[in-house]
């Protein structure tokens, strides 16, 4: 995985080239320890593509490595609406690199088309379908997650406390309120990024709840993934919503739990009165 290959269809015919990658790239200071374009790549591409009318772009290689070139193509040389495609041979998956997972998923969401030779392997290892359009706010969540993983001295803005600390506080609040059997709602980007908050928690985490039927029966951070309907039968004391920009959406989906008297706890938004919501259904 030392290079990307790109093909641009232009008004003067196809333009093909390669983009050299390195784990010593200056971009690694921002995106993490992964293969990224070497210094000078942007200038080399500009010398090749400037002034060309690009009709489509195809990048072959790992989507995490392709994230920056994809952004460059879309923002510098391509007109709005120019089709973009990533061809991904999923031979190398580092399940321990959170930055690489977030960068890969973000690139898959930004490209118009993903051609992946092993989508099942990506799903089982990283928990997302390469060709899925995702939830509308997922791109924002992934971008924020990447920024949260930067060195604090390199961040462009103070985005507040990190996700793991927010989850720790929510679990501590559950313990204080006497909610000792807790479910986590959401098996997406946010939950994958807060695993350290689940180490020696002050409560018993019984399950992770998700609406995607394909994930039911799997595990995440060692906890079983169950449907909201299955969670009702687990005698939970409370459920913590694990999301930020889609927290309102999860709140709505968790209504089936509140109808059964299970309090739902927001991490970021204002916690509405669970008692009033429960009483409304009794």
Percent of the chain with pLDDT over 90: 44
Q: Kind and range of the H or E element at 9?
A: strand 3-10
Kindly report, as residue ranges, where domains of CATH 3.40.50.720 are found in the chain: 163-280
Angle at which helices 98-110 and 138-148 pack, to 10 degrees?
Answer: 150
Nearest partner of 170 among 271, 257, 273, 278, judged by Cα? 271
What pLDDT is recorded for position 138? Answer: 54
Residues 3 and 18 sit within 8 Å (Cβ to Cβ): yes
Output the average pLDDT for the chain.
82
- pLDDT band for position 274 (50/70/90)? very low
What pLDDT is recorded for position 275? Answer: 40
What pLDDT is recorded for position 117? Answer: 85
User: Would you say residue 127 has pLDDT above 90?
Assistant: no
Condensed to tens digits (0 to 9), the pLDDT of residues 224-263 reads: 999 999 999 999 999 999 987 788 889 999 999 999 999 9
CA distance 229 to 33: 40
Residues 59 and 87 sit within 8 Å (Cβ to Cβ): yes
The mean pLDDT value for 194-210 works out to 91
Percent of the chain with pLDDT over 70: 80
Residues 106 and 156 sit within 8 Å (Cβ to Cβ): no
What pLDDT is recorded for position 93? Answer: 61
Q: What CATH number belongs to 163-280? A: 3.40.50.720
Condensed to tens digits (0 to 9), the pLDDT of residues 178-192 reads: 999 999 999 887 887
CA distance 169 to 202: 10
What pLDDT is recorded for position 249? Answer: 87
User: Would you say residue 24 has pLDDT above 50?
Assistant: yes
Q: What is the pTM of this model?
A: 0.56
Condensed to tens digits (0 to 9), the pLDDT of residues 159-177 reads: 334 788 899 999 999 999 9
Condensed to tens digits (0 to 9), the pLDDT of residues 66-119 reads: 999 998 998 889 988 899 999 988 776 655 566 787 788 888 888 888 898 888
What pLDDT is recorded for position 97? Answer: 63
Query: With 0-12 CB in 10 A as exposed, 13-18 as middle and 19+ as buried, what is 271?
Result: middle
The mean pLDDT value for 46-58 works out to 92
- pLDDT band for position 133 (50/70/90)? low
- pLDDT band for position 132 (50/70/90)? low
């Amino acid at each position: 995985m030392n290079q990307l290959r790109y093909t641009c269809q232009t008004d003067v015919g196809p333009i093909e080239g390669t983009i050299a990658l390195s784990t010593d790239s200056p971009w690694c200071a921002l995106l993490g320890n992964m293969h990224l374009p070497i210094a000078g790549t942007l200038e080399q591409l500009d010398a090749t593509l400037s002034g060309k009318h690009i009709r489509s772009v195809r990048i072959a290689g790992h989507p995490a490595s392709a994230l920056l070139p994809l952004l460059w193509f879309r923002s510098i040389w391509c007109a709005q609406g120019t089709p973009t495609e990533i061809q991904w041979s999923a031979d190398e998956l580092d399940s321990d690199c959170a930055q690489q997972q977030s960068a890969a998923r973000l690139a898959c969401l930004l490209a118009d088309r993903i051609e992946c030779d092993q989508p099942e392997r990506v799903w089982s290892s990283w928990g997302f379908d390469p060709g899925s359009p995702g939830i509308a706010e997922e791109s924002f969540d992934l971008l924020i997650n990447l920024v949260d993983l930067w060195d604090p001295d390199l961040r462009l803005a103070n985005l507040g406390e990190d996700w793991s600390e927010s989850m720790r506080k929510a679990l501590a609040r559950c313990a204080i309120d006497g909610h000792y059997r807790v479910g986590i709602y959401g098996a997406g980007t946010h939950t994958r990024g807060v695993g350290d908050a689940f180490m020696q928690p002050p409560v018993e985490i019984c399950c992770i709840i998700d609406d995607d039927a394909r994930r039911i029966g799997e595990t995440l951070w060692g906890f079983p993934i169950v449907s909201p309907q299955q969670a009702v039968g687990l005698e939970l004391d409370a459920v913590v919503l694990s999301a930020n920009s889609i927290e309102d959406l999860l709140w709505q989906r968790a209504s089936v739990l509140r109808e059964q008297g299970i309090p739902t706890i927001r991490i970021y938004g204002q916690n509405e009165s669970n008692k009033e919501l429960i009483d409304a259904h009794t």
